[in-house]
Amino acid sequence: MRDIIVVLDSVGIGELPDAHEYGDVGSNTLINIKKAVPSMELPNLLELGLSNISGGELLAGGKAYQPKGAFGKMAEKSKGKDTTTGHWEIAGIVTEVPFPTYPNGFPNSVINEFEGKTGRKVVGNCTASGTEIIERLGEHHMNTGDLIVYTSADSVFQIAAHEDIVPVKELYEICEIAREMLKGEHAVSRVIARPFIGSVGNFKRTTNRHDFSLNPTGKTMLDYIGEGGLKVHGVGKIYDIFCGKGVDSTVHIDSNMDGVDKTLELMGSVDKGLIFTNLVDFDMLYGHRNDSKGYANSLMEFDKRLPEILDKLRDDDILYITADHGCDPTTDSTDHSREYVPLLVYGKKIKAGADLYIRDSFADIAQTVMAHLDIKGNVAGKSFLENILKED
């Protein structure tokens, strides 16, 4: 018996009621992409029930689908719209106090301490797009060795460095110094290594990105699954998001399609437990760059691979497809958006067309996974397992 969670990073489906508090009124990642790129077709996701989700009708372009999976959408109960809060909530932790953000850059006290501990000066210290800031400051960095530090609307301390100037291993060590520093009032959710290569006018970020997250603030379904004698297998940045806590094995991925490949490999070799996958390209390559066409193409690319995942499901498996927040590429903002996320659930024992409506929390997945795997533990959320299982 296995549960497989695939997080389509940033694939939101409409603003939450409190979106105005985050500057995200009008955000709707999936629907606005469809409006911007009418040629986007997602037949396999639609067959599972994507367009049957409340507010998702436009995705079907007028065509009626009889869903073969269960479907709904989930509200984020945590405060924030960050990768960490989203994934932690999927795993059963609701974050009551939002992580700190720095719209005007980090205070001098933080930068001075960081420079003193790393022995390198800092350049940047502002909110910025990752690609834009290396184009603007990459030459200075290469001439001086100064570290490019920047943030966003999210709770992140990002450090960009050219791999020829600061080797990846050293950059990771620098990030560990920052992670150790950033506690208490400055406990950002993630310190992120952003290595790049290339020459002036032709810089390119590499796949050696690494996230240094805070330890989860409580026990998650991952911990309880381990205590129950089963294993958790992370694909992509799952290990980083949970600081390895509760994750028994992890595989790095170079792209969404590599992530699908690695997920399929695990589905072919793992007999029980949880496979937990994050596909980050939607967010990293397209959402943050306001690239609607690229985002649409990436969604269609995943949709084409979805039948391979469905074919690998065993009789007792349950597949969950969801997201951790939005990142609407059609808005002026290049940051995450406070949105509902889709919830598609499929398996051979799942009732076709079961409507899960609007769930109060992402953590409902955690309770459902634990109920399905017969795992005991105390996490947030409410199981919907009884709503989706076929009657014997």
| 277 and 302 belong to one structural domain | yes
Residue 102 domain-assigned? no
CATH number for 379: 3.40.720.10
Residues 6+ apart with CB under 8 A from 109: none
The backbone torsions φ and ψ at residue 296, rounded to the nearest 5 degrees and listed phi first, read: -60, -45
**Amino acid letter at 177?**
I
Tell me the percentage of the chain whose pLDDT exceeds 90.
95
Are 138 and 162 within 8 A, CB to CB? yes
| 192 and 231 belong to one structural domain | no
Residue 100 domain-assigned? no
| 155 and 284 belong to one structural domain | no
Domain that holds residue 189: 108-212
pLDDT tens readout for residues 30-85: 999 999 999 999 999 999 999 999 999 999 988 889 999 999 999 999 999 999 99
Residue 185 domain-assigned? yes
Single out the residue in 148, 181, 212 at which a domain terminates. Answer: 212
Residue 242 domain-assigned? yes
Single out the residue in 150, 181, 212 at which a domain terminates. Answer: 212
Total number of domains in the chain: 2
| 223 and 205 belong to one structural domain | no
| 254 and 139 belong to one structural domain | no
Residue 59 domain-assigned? yes
CATH number for 195: 3.30.70.1250
Residue 311 domain-assigned? yes
| 380 and 323 belong to one structural domain | yes
| 382 and 324 belong to one structural domain | yes
At residue 64, the pLDDT reads 84
| 272 and 312 belong to one structural domain | yes
Q: What angle do CA 87, 191, 279 make, to 5 degrees?
A: 40
At residue 59, the pLDDT reads 97
| 208 and 221 belong to one structural domain | no
| 235 and 366 belong to one structural domain | yes
| 360 and 281 belong to one structural domain | yes
| 240 and 263 belong to one structural domain | yes
Single out the residue in 212, 243, 276 at which a domain terminates. Answer: 212
239, two tokens: 């290990």
pLDDT tens readout for residues 307-328: 999 999 999 999 999 999 999 9
- The tens place of each residue's pLDDT in the chain, 392 residues long, gives 999 999 999 999 999 999 999 999 999 999 999 999 999 999 999 999 999 999 999 999 888 899 999 999 999 999 999 999 999 999 999 999 889 999 999 999 999 999 999 999 999 999 998 889 999 999 999 999 999 999 988 899 999 999 999 999 999 999 999 999 999 999 999 999 999 999 999 999 998 999 998 999 999 999 999 999 999 999 999 999 999 999 999 999 999 999 999 999 999 999 999 999 999 999 999 999 999 999 999 999 999 999 999 999 999 999 999 999 999 999 999 889 999 999 999 999 999 999 999 999 999 999 999 999 999 999 999 999 999 999 86
